[in-house]
Amino acid sequence: MLTQDEQLYVADPLALHHIVVKDQYIYEETDMFISTNLLIFGSGLLSTLGDHHRRQRKMLNPVFSLKHMRDLIPIFYPIAHQLREVLVREVRNGTEEVNVMSWMSRAALEFIGQGGLGYTFGALDEGKRNAYSESIRLLSYTNFSLMLPRQFLPWISNIGSPAFRRKVVEWMPYDAVNKMAIKAGDDEVRKQVGKGKDIMSILLKANMEASEEDRLPESEILGQMNSFLFAGHETTTGAVSRILHQLALNPDVQSRLRDEVSAARKEHGDLEYDVLMGLPYLDAICRETLRVYPPVTQLSRTTKNDVIMPLMWPIKSADGKSEIKEISLKKNTNVIISIIGANRSKLIWGEDAEEWKPERWLEPLPESVSKAHLPGVYASIAPKDDVPWWRKSMHWIQVRRDGNENGPFDITRNICFLSWSRDFLDDEYTGVSYHKGPDWI
């Protein structure tokens, strides 16, 4: 990356299948990725490779069972209702601009805190501050600003003692470097985790029941805690915020979704897992948003051995005289997985691939989609364990102009949606804002 090395940018479906499924242990995370995550989060799923990673994943299997996902739903509802009341209060108080993404970030942190750790950060309480939650919120921006110095981590992270490296960090001229220190769970967190049906409780229980050789040490348990918090908080915030933005831009879709959700709530009240997962239009909106606007647009891998990468779609050689059906990659070749490239490919999804059209999921998809065999479980574009988070997030966001659940609400008039993200490969926008207009309520 620093010496103009060649990297391969891949969106071909067959190549992606080999990278993340068939040959996944040849295409591993980059040294910079592993070193950075090990220093920030500790030894967790985001910072381990090979047999070590597989052992951790085996221990986490009970966490993502269907039964456990069902048990999480009741944990989410009090948070959902609290968030709704916050937004209703903002609107009723005549606030001209409501930073919706900020509130989604707070809610996501509380979802992960209670659903993941059995711990409340009080994230929806403006009068309460939590040093750990503040660190989580600042992490992405700070991490991104350190892209250049992080390139050197694989070489310098083991130089000298930990105390020496700590001093080097303090002396560095980068102000952002000193913001990267994040605690591996403070005393308050330690006191509350492991006492309920949250992810960490299930993990601790499974760990205690595991054989000696499979059991994870406390340091790795803390590493999972940090990894869950960061990964879940970031992706949930981005996905739900993007859905709200699309609903603001498409009032007809918003209205149809409200009718579906309102009808279900009228019959069932707070929806149980099976009812929630059975709302077709909500499902279509979540799928389409994850397709067109994936929270993570690309991933990097490095080949650990020489390998042949096959292609579904042959490419022309430089001289234009022959077709290339496979690519020979040498060891230590960097490969960029283009999630957004595959999700928006016209060869897969048709000429309207770049358009946000939830209705496409309510009718048979093009045959090219099934033939592509894109990796993933949910709509071929997201891990199955993320599904309830997206649907749940959209189920509870029903704010009304007058607080009446059956009344109309034009989100483009009443809520200012401020969004910034570095995750887009295109330069569509860096901020969207709906300000007070002549028909402001």
Higher-confidence position of 297 and 434: 297
* pLDDT > 90 fraction of the chain, expressed in percent and rounded: 36
- Calculate Rg over the CA atoms of the chain: 23
| pTM, full prediction | 0.76
Does position 305 have pLDDT exceeding 70, yes or no?
Answer: yes
* pLDDT > 70 fraction of the chain, expressed in percent and rounded: 71
Model confidence pLDDT, tens digit, residues 180-232: 444 444 444 444 444 567 777 888 888 888 888 888 888 888 888 888 787 88
Predicted pLDDT at 3 = 58
Does position 397 have pLDDT exceeding 70, yes or no?
Answer: no
What's the mean per-residue pLDDT of the chain? 77
Does position 175 have pLDDT exceeding 90, yes or no?
Answer: no
CB 20 within 8 A of CB 375: yes
Which residues touch 87 (CB under 8 Å, ≥6 apart)? Answer: 98, 100, 103, 397, 399, 415
Predicted pLDDT at 183 = 43
Measured distance CA(29)–CA(303) in Å, rounded: 9
Predicted pLDDT at 207 = 81
The string of DSSP codes covering 349-415 is H-TTTTS--GGGGGSPPPHHHHHH--S-SBTTTB-GGGHHHHHHHHHS----TTS-TTS---HHHH-
| Pairing of the two strands 7-10 and 334-338 | parallel
Which residues touch 327 (CB under 8 Å, ≥6 apart)? Answer: 8, 15, 308, 309, 311
CA dihedral 156, 161, 165, 168 (to 10 degrees): -110
Instruction: Report the DSSP beta bridge partners of residue 9.
Output: 336
> Which residue is associated with the tokens 């749940």?
392
Instruction: Report residue 404 as tokens.
Output: 């009446």
Measured distance CA(120)–CA(108) in Å, rounded: 12
Least confident of 198-202, 247-251, 430-434: 430-434
CA angle 345, 348, 352 (to 5 degrees): 65
Predicted pLDDT at 426 = 31
3-state class of 23 per DSSP? coil
For 216, which DSSP code? Answer: P
The alpha helices in 146-279, defined as continuous H runs, are 147-150, 153-156, 162-171, 187-192, 199-209, 218-249, 251-268, 273-277
The alpha helices in 7-49, defined as continuous H runs, are 13-17, 31-41
Model confidence pLDDT, tens digit, residues 108-164: 989 988 888 888 888 888 777 767 667 776 776 676 667 666 676 666 666 767 676
CB 184 within 8 A of CB 226: yes
Predicted pLDDT at 259 = 97
Classify domain 7-414 by CATH architecture.
Answer: Orthogonal Bundle (1.10)
Model confidence pLDDT, tens digit, residues 318-350: 888 899 999 999 999 999 999 999 999 999 999
Give me the half-sphere count of Cα atoms (radius 13 Å) on the Cβ side of residue 35.
14
Most confident of 16-20, 52-56, 68-72: 16-20
Model confidence pLDDT, tens digit, residues 62-109: 777 788 888 888 889 999 999 999 999 988 988 888 888 889 988 998
